[in-house]
């Protein structure tokens, strides 16, 4: 049976353990009415900074998930764990390499019922995630559809994540990708720094994820919560 914790999430903030966030800012994020906080990042993630951020978030009731991109940061105590598989990497390491290595070590301790794979498609060539994973970022609609078929229908992954980290993506492509899904939930993240962009993304994706704006323009980031939650998705 698929875990259900994220099936109703419309909005989530993604917090990077490697970036500084004041207590006041964290309180505003956790009390904002967002559906969840996801802890994750592309570099500089350690056990210590992940534990530290988790314990600070735990002062609040908001559900908190960890996106495990490094086995060093496999910290117990989160409500849910996401394991990214990068569908458009040029390196097998990011598809079934690091994951296998981590499973050799932690396989028997993993809370499987609270763990889900995410099929990532990284689409901003300038992003740290694209650089780190050596992703092939140029895709037309057919190519994106093929990746969606692979993730949703062949691999039956519970999440397809269209990752434009750092830039606002093509909402037409996001909508089309979502329309092809049969079981997975469509996560969208990238460049949301205003209520208007949040609304647009909310009309295209099941779950809208806001990252950098938390650090660059907190007030605008907070406005994305209601903006997303006000949009009804067909
Ligand atoms: C990053 O998808 C998230 O993994 C959010 O992207 O940081 O551009 O908001 P931004």
Ligand 1 probe mutation, 127, 164, 197, most atoms within 8 A of CB? 164
Range of the structural domain that residue 68 is part of: 4-229
Instruction: For residue 164, tell me if it sits in a domain.
Output: yes
For 180-225, the pLDDT digits (tens) are 999 999 999 999 999 999 999 999 999 999 999 999 999 999 999 9
Instruction: For residue 234, tell me if it sits in a domain.
Output: no
Residue 27 has pLDDT above 60, yes or no: yes
Instruction: For residue 146, tell me if it sits in a domain.
Output: yes
Q: How far is the C-alpha of 57 from the C-alpha of 70, rounded, in Å? A: 20
Does the beta carbon of 210 lie inside 6 Å of ligand 1? yes
Q: How many domains does the chain have?
A: 1
For 164-178, the pLDDT digits (tens) are 999 999 999 999 999
CATH number for the domain spanning 217: value is: 3.20.20.390
Q: How far is the C-alpha of 74 from the C-alpha of 148, rounded, in Å? A: 28
Rounded to the nearest whole angstrom, what is the distance from the C-alpha of residue 40 to the centroid of ligand 1?
A: 10
Rounded to the nearest whole angstrom, what is the distance from the C-alpha of residue 134 to the centroid of ligand 1?
A: 18
47-52: which pairs have CB atoms within 8 A and are 24 or more residues apart? 47/72, 47/73, 47/74, 47/75, 49/17, 49/18, 50/17, 50/75, 51/75, 52/17
Average confidence (pLDDT) over 86-96:
95
**CB-side neighbour CA atoms (13 Å) of 112:** 4
Nearest CA to ligand 1 atom 1: 165
Does the beta carbon of 45 lie inside 6 Å of ligand 1? no
Strand partners, 38: 14, 65
Q: What is the DSSP string of 170-188?
A: -HHHHHHHHHT-SS-EEEE
* Ligand 1 atom with minimal separation from the 187 CA: 2
Rounded to the nearest 5 degrees, what angle is found at the Cα of 110, between the Cα atoms of 105 and 112? 140
Does the beta carbon of 189 lie inside 6 Å of ligand 1? yes
How many C-beta atoms lie closer than 10 Å to residue 196's C-beta?
Answer: 13
Q: Tokens at residue 141, please?
A: 């609609």
166 sits in the region (left: phi over 0; alpha: psi -120 to 50; else beta) called: left
């Amino acid at each position: 049976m698929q875990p259900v914790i994220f099936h109703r999430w419309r909005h989530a903030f993604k917090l990077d353990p490697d970036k500084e966030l004041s207590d006041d800012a964290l309180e505003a994020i956790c009390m904002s009415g967002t559906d969840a906080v996801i802890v994750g990042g592309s570099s500089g993630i350690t056990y210590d900074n992940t534990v530290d951020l988790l314990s600070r978030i735990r002062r609040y009731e908001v559900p908190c998930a960890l996106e495990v991109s490094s086995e060093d940061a496999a910290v117990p105590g989160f409500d849910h764990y996401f394991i990214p598989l990068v569908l458009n990497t040029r390196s097998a390491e990011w598809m079934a390499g690091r994951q296998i290595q981590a499973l050799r070590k932690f396989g028997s301790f993993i809370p499987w019922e609270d763990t889900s794979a995410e099929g990532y498609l990284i689409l901003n060539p300038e992003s740290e995630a694209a650089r780190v994973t050596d992703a092939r970022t140029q895709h037309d609609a057919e190519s994106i559809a093929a990746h969606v078929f692979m993730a949703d229908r062949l691999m039956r992954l519970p999440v397809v994540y269209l990752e434009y980290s750092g830039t606002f993506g093509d909402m037409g492509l996001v909508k089309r990708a979502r329309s092809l899904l049969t079981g997975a939930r469509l996560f969208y993240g990238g460049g949301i720094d205003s209520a208007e962009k949040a609304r647009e993304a909310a009309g295209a994706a099941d779950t809208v994820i806001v990252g950098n704006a938390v650090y660059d323009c907190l007030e605008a980031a907070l406005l994305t919560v209601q903006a997303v939650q006000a949009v009804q998705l067909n």
